[in-house]
Structure 1
Amino acid sequence: MNAKPTDGSPVRASAGVQSLGRAFDVLELMAAAEGEIALSRLAEESGLPGPTIHRIVRTLVARGYVLQMPSRRYVLGPRLIGLGSGARASVEAWASPPLHALAEETGETANLAMLDLDRVVYVAQVPSTRHTMRMFTEVGRRVYAHCTGVGKALLAELPDDDVRRMLTAAGMPATTSHTITDVDRMLEELARVREQGYAVDDGEQELGVRCVAVAVNPATAVSVSGPTSRVTRKAVPSLARVLQSAARSLAGREGRRA
């Protein structure tokens, strides 16, 4: 699980950096478990020796990032809540005004998502206030890139060779009958995204839902989503223009934030 550079040559990480990376790997495995997890399972899924896992978890427990339960299994600890709240507050301070304006103008739910290794994570959302039937995606939810509008918008920012490596490594499972599951077909789709300046998830993540997305920068994308009865194919180009304006606003605010 050691880090490797993009050219494929080996990296010799210092012991401290290696330990830090392993600690994050353990936390991510615990988050994916969505409940209590045993040391033996952490060792199995991480590929690390039991004594190494034990030392890492013991350190995380001492720092409050992991809790040991009465079952002697482990769960994520409360100290992570403060870190997550701080990160969310920072993102919302930057993104909230443009997302609120986007949701108000389109009448649909507005989302902000970021590339997270080979997945996409939703980092902010403003639900539609105009309709009782609304699309909700949990903030913090990690999804595959190939079946979402935001994911396609972000993949289109990458060179085709990088996209091919990423999708081959991550896999392209079918979430619905509309999901594109072939890398070559996805590369054709991404060529269209680059040409038209926006991406569309046409029931590929969830049947009956259409999402239109635009990249803000190579790591961040903004989208609106709603039922196909409202977000019609005819409405997509006009929604894309509104999204492109929102993306410019977010990019401008990002520059001021820096």
Structure 2
Amino acid sequence: METKNPIQVSERIFHTIECLAASGPMGLQELSTELELNKSTVHRILNSLICMDYVRQDPETSKYSLSFKFCRISTQILSQNNMVDLAKPYLKQLAEQSGEIVHLVQLDGMNAVYIDKVESARNTVRLVSMVGKSIPLYCSGVGKAMLAEMPDEKIQYIWEHSDIRRLTEYTVTDFAQLEALIKDIRKNGYAMDNEENELGVRCIAVSLKSFSGKPSYAISISAPKDRMSDERIEELKEMILATKEQIFKEVGGY
């Protein structure tokens, strides 16, 4: 007696789902042609998916489409995988690899808020930072990394509605200078805080997009300036960009 290959059956089911997700409502013949399967096989797959409430058939057009059950499932997945939990192992890896403190921030209006940090055990000289603390976007590495992902008009709006103050002698308080920095960030893929927010501290940062594709998060490596030479920044750049790519894939490529 011939038995069906369970892997092949599953593969056909998921290909059907992916095809409907990409193309929208389709008729039986269209699906059969697209999937390169005979109509009777596709019809059986569709009937199974209808029984499980994953697919519905329009009574007027007879076309098949995915049901909103997928939306409910995706909402449940997102609610169980917030960015702090998702990014944590990568932050730990980056802290261990770099030997420095790593922060994760979230966009909050005109500011960024620390929502997680991981310290390396390799360095005894540490920075004072606190989860929950808010920092301005315009003068922080994480803030500028997120700004660089936004349209120019949004950047200008945030600038105009921020309390622009010179926190250190290096703080950028001229919009034209910020625009030039944003241009460099977009070109290089990372942002810098060169003692703009706190004297004696430099950091390198990259933005992270949310599950919806918005620039809502950023990560940074921070250290006293004597441990953050330009040569060291070049090394850290490779580490933090690789971490961004890992988290990008984990989120699902947005």
TM-score range, shorter-chain basis? 0.5 to 0.7
Matched with 2:92 is 100
Deviation sequence 1:8-63 (CA, Å, 0-9, x none): xxxxxxxxxxxxxxxxxxxxxxxxxxxxxxxxxxxxxxxxxxxxxxxxxxxxxxxx
1:143 to partner: Cα distance? 0.9
Query: What one-letter code is carried by the residue in structure 2 that aligns with 1:231?
Result: M
Instruction: Write out aligned runs for 1:134-149 (5 A).
Output: 134-149=126-141
Are residues 1:160 and 2:157 paired?
A: no
1:205 to partner: Cα distance? 0.7
The answer on whether the counterparts of 1:114 and 1:220 sit within 8 Å (CA) in structure 2 is yes
Instruction: Write out aligned runs for 1:115-194 (5 A).
Output: 115-194=107-186
Matched with 1:231 is 228
> Following the alignment from structure 2 to structure 1, what is the Cα–Cα distance between the partners of residues 232 and 161?
35
Are residues 1:221 and 2:218 paired?
A: yes
> Following the alignment from structure 2 to structure 1, what is the Cα–Cα distance between the partners of residues 248 and 130?
23
1:240 to 232, 237, 241: 237
Are residues 1:254 and 2:246 paired?
A: no
Give the TM-score normalised by the residue count of structure 2. 0.64
Query: What one-letter code is carried by the residue in structure 2 that aligns with 1:165?
Result: Y
1:137 to partner: Cα distance? 1.8
Matched with 2:26 is none
> Following the alignment from structure 1 to structure 2, what is the Cα–Cα distance between the partners of residues 199 and 156?
9
1:113 to 98, 105, 119: 105
1:90 to partner: Cα distance? 4.3
> Following the alignment from structure 2 to structure 1, what is the Cα–Cα distance between the partners of residues 248 and 117?
17
Query: What one-letter code is carried by the residue in structure 2 that aligns with 1:198?
Result: Y
Matched with 1:206 is 198
The answer on whether the counterparts of 1:145 and 1:151 sit within 8 Å (CA) in structure 2 is yes
The percent of aligned pairs where both chains have the same amino acid is 34
Query: What one-letter code is carried by the residue in structure 1 that aligns with 2:237?
Result: A
Instruction: Write out aligned runs for 1:42-61 (5 A).
Output: none
Query: What one-letter code is carried by the residue in structure 2 that aligns with 1:147?
Result: C
Q: How many residues align?
A: 171
Cα pair distance change 1:161/1:91, threshold 3 Å = closer
In our comparison, the structure showing a higher alpha carbon Rg is 2
Give the TM-score normalised by the residue count of structure 1. 0.63
> Following the alignment from structure 1 to structure 2, what is the Cα–Cα distance between the partners of residues 108 and 157?
25
> Following the alignment from structure 2 to structure 1, what is the Cα–Cα distance between the partners of residues 158 and 97?
35
